[in-house]
């Protein structure tokens, strides 16, 4: 059983930075992992995905500002967020799935493809 716990959210001003972490328990070999966000009244959006082999995909809205990475030895997934904007305000979730041998479907940015989810961490960006 995989458990995911996010941390690192908070409140920042526009232009600031935050680094989110997602600590995973369980055997995480050959998992696709992703970061998602959901703002009030909006659908859950795939922000970034990374497969077991290191291939990465970003949503257009965060390209050049966000960086996804992982530490396989420590089972931690990261999301470095720079140049934050008020529209980045949302609850951020990490997710994992392993039905494709470590590869991600659709770059790991389709929520319906993921089985394991963390509880979320709130990010608030003020203007």
Residue 51 CA to residue 43 CA, distance in Å, equals 23
Which region holds residue 34: left if phi is over 0, alpha if psi is between -120 and 50, else beta?
beta
Is 125's pLDDT higher than 90?
Answer: yes
Dump pLDDT digits (tens) for 85-119: 999 999 999 999 999 989 999 889 999 999 999 99
Number of Cβ atoms within 10 Å of the Cβ of 96: 22
Residue with tokens 């960086």: 67
Measured between alpha carbons, how far is 85 from 88 in angstroms, rounded to an integer? 5
pLDDT tens across 49-73, in order? 999 999 999 999 999 999 999 999 9
| β-sheet bridge partners, residue 123 | 10, 90
Q: Is 2 helix (H, G, I), strand (E, B) or coil?
A: coil
């Amino acid at each position: 059983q995989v458990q995911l716990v996010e941390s690192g959210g908070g409140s920042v001003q526009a232009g600031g930075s935050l680094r989110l972490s997602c600590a995973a328990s369980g055997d995480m070999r050959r998992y696709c992992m992703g970061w998602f966000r959901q703002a009030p009244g909006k659908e859950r959006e795939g922000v970034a995905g990374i497969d077991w082999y290191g291939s990465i995909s970003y949503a257009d809205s965060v390209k050049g500002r966000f960086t996804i990475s992982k530490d396989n030895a420590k089972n931690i997934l990261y999301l470095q967020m720079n140049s934050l904007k008020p529209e980045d305000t949302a609850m951020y979730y990490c997710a994992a799935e392993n039905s494709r041998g470590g590869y991600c479907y659709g770059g790991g940015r389709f929520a319906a493809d993921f089985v394991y989810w963390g509880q979320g961490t709130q990010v608030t960006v003020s203007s």
